[in-house]
Structure 1
Amino acid sequence: MTVPDIPQEGPHVVLVSTRTVLTLPDDSLLLTPATVIVSPATGKIISAIPEIIPRSSFPSDTVYHDYSPKLLLPGLVDAHVHLNEPGRTEWEGFYTGTRAAASGGVTTVVDMPLNAVPPTTTLEGFKAKLAASQGQCWVDVGFYGGVIPGNADQLLPLVEAGVRGFKGFLIDSGVPEFPAVSSTDIELAMKTLKDAPTTLMFHAEIIPPIADSVGDSVQVSDPPLRPRGELNSYTTWLLSRPPAFETYAIEEILSIAHVAPDLHLHIVHLSAMECIPILREARKKGIKITAETCFHYLGFSSDEIEDGDTRHKCCPPIRNQVNQDRLWEEISDPEGCIKTIVSDHSPCTPELKLLPPHLQSGHRPTMHQCDSGIDMTLPEEERLAAEEAEKARLDGPVEIQGDFFAAWGGVSSVGLGLPILYTFAAEREARGDITPSIVDIVRMCSQATAQQVGLAHCKGGIRAGMDADFAIFDDADVWTLRAADMRWKNRCSPWEGHTFRGRVHETWLRGQKIFELGGPNDGFVGGKPIGRAITEKRMK
């Protein structure tokens, strides 16, 4: 754009950087010097020009920000976040969860349908969640609906109400109000949604007909037997959920996919590398299926997790270094089946993590947890005997501290995605390993996540007409995550103590700065949230 083409009506806000990731007309991404002109009145990008235009070229009332040499990136779209409100606000809530997102350059989150009470499995449940979100969101928030047995009649009304997609579990979810679906339920959901503008997603784990890890007597519909080995051993936990849990679930989904050939299917938080060839082959056959993986699968490996450190517990589990390397290879391939990277921010209270004393004071949970997929419930007589034994040893250690099977599964990390990916990508590049570039990271964490939830027309990119959502990322900032840096509700995360290269210094939402690192009010600009609940009906 030449100087005479600059819009004269204003006032405008101008952001420039010698390193900006722009979205081109063909949807490709380009790292380039750029000038981005924003209308604060509409919250939209007016122009995105692939050159630096000096301050002197603009009217005197223009607010001009030169962020060079920091990276000017589109705001991230985290398409997998558990905000847990209403119902379990002691775990997380809209206010704290979206503040954490904003502090890390995430300008849109999409809230999962479970862990709130009621879950988003009915139109009334969705209305309750929308009511709870009012006035609390620091970033824009979209919502998923849930697929559970018996709610097929709610799916299309939820589409009309504006949910961005649907999620179902093929294994116990850990909360009683969100039961797992059978193959019959999956087929009914696919048939119901086959012509709808939506995405049908799955937590793809299921007990195989015969699972080597738990014994030949286990059948599909039964819970696994009690694990063999120390319950505070990460190896015991890992062996209890082998890759076969994931591959079998994906094969089950693919066997039904023919009933809805135009429906976008999606595998959430893919962990096992053995799934990759299955998904690649399915895509080659024309099945519309994609997958996501998570920051923790790319940053942690089972080889380095200490026994008892239940902060790392999640489902599916974090696997070994060889597996992690294969995930990095897949996300580095534009033709790969893993199209998006998300946080799967799934917090709880520290007490539910049952951390050992050197990590956190151990307390018994106030509610029964069964998200391990393993029935830890004792028969009544055994329960009473156990209670008596507990009374007799009140002054002794709590035996379930560090128990991977009794602890709640989930990793807190919303807002940490850019530092995690940039740090580990830089380390891999230094070793000569295959690694994605910053443009690839933007593609998987902003552009593709926006596409996954039907928001690509307004989110996930820097070009004219898009929402003016930005993350200012200083890739030279080396810092260590401390508890005080965690802005989600419960400051418990396996990332604590990790040193990162790169940090978000500012976040902009629809033309307004909402976070500035080191600023007053803990960096949150304006003192009150301006995020919106996204309820526009998704279009094809």
Structure 2
Amino acid sequence: MELGSTIGAVRSKRVLIGSEASPAVIVIKDGKIHEILSGSRFSGDVGCEVLDVGDSVVMPGIVDCHVHVNEPGRTAWEGFWSATRAAAAGGVTTIVDMPLNSIPPTTTLSNFHEKQQEATGKCFVDTAFWGGVIPGNQLELRPMIQAGVAGFKCFLIHSGVEEFPHVTELDLHTAMKQLQGTGSVLLFHAELDVLQATKETGDPCQYSTFLQSRPDLMEIEAIRTVTELCLQYRVRCHIVHLSSAKPLKLIQKARRAGAPLTVETTHHYLSLCAENIPAGATQFKCCPPIRGSNNQEQLWSALKAGQIDMVVSDHSPCTPDLKKLNSGDFTQAWGGISSLQFGLPLFWSSASKKGFQLSDVVRLLCQKTAQLCSLDNQKGSLYPGFDADLVIWDPERLFEVEEKSIHHKNKLTPYLGITLQGVVCATILRGQLVYREGSFCPEPLGKHLLIPQRKSCKTQ
């Protein structure tokens, strides 16, 4: 079948339905899953041309709800064309774009419209958009909800870019009042500058110097603030990119008290650890930082126990010069890791050795992420009536991450040269073949996903 062609049905001996991978045929009509035939109906005539993928695993396309595309304004860092091709190559069929580091940021209705216009005709996968909360933009929040943003993100510490300032506690109370009754969600970069910007005193080329400047305490205190606000206003809240396992007790306590609070971690916190980061290897820098191996094991345990809800890429690329590779100075380098294309194999390479099942991959990378951005009625699961977004992959096959196979605009990533388990063979978006074995559909077929309001915008 040609790239871009419409698929009538997909047959595999390993279709992931519920918790089991079993023989089935997924019949597709008008871009939706029409029915799933299993058992004796698996080998029968389904009345259309069938793409038979043998024993490759077929599961829902991944929903990566934490991606910095950076367009418009910082398109040299990344762009919709390159980011969404990388997504398709990684089996990601939906991304949700963060409100920064583009210029302008998605903090007003006008800026949101500008972002949508910029993305039009450039997306190889479906794309939704987060808005942002910054000081003074509270009257923009409801108009943005009505226009279809998935929710909002804010920072409790300097964001790294001047045009997206962090909020104070007063700003948060103002924003929470606007969000009450809307069904929307507020995402928190949860670090607080409790140490008043500890100056790095060690060798700036040693990773330990940077790590000591962003201790666990910064996440603990930020999350303490978030849990209190969440319980007070009962607005959905979400902790992005949790790096430290220490605040999990606070999160669990708040949830038991009824807080509508969720939390994600990222592939880099689960795959990389501080002890193995070489001197001057600034491609490993991100905020919050990659912590030690003991902490990493605790994150995996929390994931298995359901205390962490989902895993995302936090794809945050930049141009190579901003990584300061020549000087190797961690204190000056841009903090962000590129991994959008490799999330599935990164996760599976470790998870498969820790007793996780393929059904856990669907739950953590597809279903829970779709739920966060209110797309769980059409994305992230194999059900009749849902979008026919599928990733076809081989969970046993190994491959090496090579620069020539990276589709992100900038190829710098800490994963270069490592061997991963799990190869994406093909990606189907709403019933159309958009990626197969290194090649892409010639035209971008992705749509903008505007999120309908969950509840009335009247204040409760």
**Residues 330-358 of structure 1: per-residue CA shift (max 9 Å, x gap):** 11123x2x101000000000110011xxx
Structure 1 SS opposite 2:41: coil
Cα contact 2:230–2:261 (8 A) shared by 1 = no
| Structure 2 counterpart of 1:373 | none
Match of 1:43 among 3, 19, 31: 31
C-alpha contact (below 8 Å) 2:135/2:167 kept by paired residues: yes
Aligned to 2:21: 31
SS where residue 97 of structure 1 aligns? helix
Asked whether the equivalents of residues 88 and 341 of structure 2 are also in contact (C-alpha less than 8 Å), the reply is yes
Q: Is the 2:7–2:431 Cα contact (8 Å) retained in structure 1? A: no
The match for 2:434 among 514, 523, 531 is 514
| Counterparts of residues 193-204 of structure 1 (less than 5 Å) | 193-204=179-190
* Cα shift readout 1:192-216 (whole Å, capped 9, x = no counterpart): 10111211110000112xx3xxxxx
Distance 1:12 1:513 in 2: 7
Q: CA 1:417/1:52 → structure 2, altered by over 3 Å: closer, same or farther?
A: farther
Whether the 8 Å contact between 1:135 and 1:529 is mirrored in structure 2 is yes
Over 6 Å off, 4+ runs:
none
The corresponding residue for 1:414 is: 340
Please say if 1:230 is aligned against 2:230.
Answer: no
Distance in 2 (CA, whole Å) between partners of 1:102 and 1:12 is: 16
Q: Which amino acid aligns with 2:396?
A: A
What's the counterpart of residue 328 of structure 2? Answer: 402
Q: Residues 16 and 115 of structure 1: is their aligned pair in 2 closer, same or farther, counting only changes over 3 Å?
A: same
- The one-letter code of the counterpart of 1:37 is V
Q: Distance in 2 between matches of 1:536 and 1:256?
A: 24
Measure the CA separation in 1 of the matches of 2:111 and 2:140.
Answer: 10
Number of the residue aligned with 2:323: 353
Letter in 2 for 1:351: D
Partner Cα distance (2:159, 2:193) in 1: 13
Match of 1:358 in 2: none
In the other structure, the counterpart of 1:160 is: 146
Q: Does 1:320 align with 2:281?
A: no
Which letter does structure 2 place at the counterpart of 1:198?
Answer: S
Deviations 1:58-114 (A, max 9, x none): 33xx12122231110100000000000000000000000000000010000000001
Partner of 1:532, secondary structure, is: coil
Q: 1:278 aligns with which of 250, 254, 264?
A: 250
2:270 is aligned with what amino acid? L
Is the 2:7–2:51 contact (alpha carbons within 8 Å) kept by the matching residues of 1? no
List gaps (5 residues or longer) in structure 1.
Answer: 1-10, 24-28, 212-217, 219-223, 356-361, 363-400, 430-434
Matches within 5 A, 1:53-452: 53-54=41-42, 56-59=44-47, 62-208=48-194, 211=195, 218=196, 224-261=197-234, 263-334=235-306, 336=307, 338-355=308-325, 362=326, 401-426=327-352, 428-429=353-354, 435-452=355-372
Give the CA deviation at 1:32.
Answer: 2.6
Amino acid at match of 1:164: A
> C-alpha distance in 2, partners of 1:233/1:51?
57
Deviation at 1:134, TM superposition (A): 0.6
The 8 Å contact of residues 76 and 319 in structure 2, kept in 1 or not, is answered as yes
Q: Secondary structure at the match of 1:86?
A: coil
Structure 2: 5+ residue runs without aligned partners? Answer: 1-5, 456-460
Amino acid paired to 2:450 = T
| Per-residue CA distance 1:337-381 (angstroms, 9 max, x = gap) | x101000000000110011xxxxxx3xxxxxxxxxxxxxxxxxxx
Partner of 2:386: 466
Find the structure with the greater CA-based Rg: 1
Change (3 A) 1:279 1:536: closer
CA positional deviation for 1:17: 1.6
Q: Is the 8 A contact 1:17 1:52 kept in 2?
A: no
TM-score (norm: length of structure 2): 0.95
AA partner of residue 23 (structure 2): P
Percent identical across equivalent pairs? 42
Amino acid at match of 2:190: A
Q: Distance in 1 between matches of 2:363 and 2:7?
A: 27
Structure with bigger RCO (C-alpha 8 Å, 6+ apart) = 2
Rounded to whole Å, the distance in 2 between the matches of 1:333 and 1:437 is: 14
- TM-score of the aligned structures, taking structure 1 as reference length: 0.82
Contact 1:191 1:259 in 2 (8 A): no
Report SS of the residue matched to 2:340.
coil
- The amino acid across from 1:162 in the alignment is G
SS in 2 for 1:58: coil
Post-superposition CA distance 1:213-268 (Å, at most 9, x none): xxxxx4xxxxx14211001110000000000000000101222223322x211000
Task: Name the structure 2 match of 1:524.
Answer: 440
Any conservation in 2 of the 1:35–1:51 contact (CA below 8 Å)? no
Q: Is the 8 A contact 1:454 1:538 kept in 2?
A: no
The offset of 1:504, in angstroms, is: 0.4
The whole-number CA distance in structure 1 between the counterparts of 2:62 and 2:271 is 19
* Deviation of 1:55 (Å): 5.2
Question: Partner of 1:22 in structure 2?
Answer: 17
Q: In the aligned structure 2, how far is the partner of 1:52 from the partner of 1:305?
A: 52
Between the two proteins, the alignment pairs up a number of residues equal to 450
Cross-structure match for 2:452: 537
Aligned to 1:487: 407
Q: CA deviation at 1:492?
A: 0.5
Cα distance in 2 for residues equivalent to 1:170 and 1:292: 17
Instruction: Give the counterpart letter for 2:347 in structure 1.
Output: L
Q: How far apart in 2 are the matches of 1:416 and 1:51?
A: 33
Determine the C-alpha separation between the residues in 1 that align with 2:10 and 2:41. Answer: 10
Q: Specify the alignment match of 1:391 in structure 2.
A: none
Cα displacement (A) at 1:52: 6.0
Instruction: Give the Cα–Cα distance (whole angstroms) in 1 for the partners of residues 46 and 226 of structure 2.
Output: 55
- Deviation sequence 1:425-457 (CA, Å, 0-9, x none): 23x33xxxxx42111111010011000000011
Q: Distance in 1 between matches of 2:451 and 2:272?
A: 37
> Which residue in the other structure is 2:3 paired with?
none
Distance, in Å, in 2 between the alignment partners of 1:227 and 1:30 is: 50
Q: Which amino acid aligns with 1:15?
A: V
Q: Secondary structure of 2:77's match?
A: coil
- The one-letter code of the counterpart of 2:208 is T
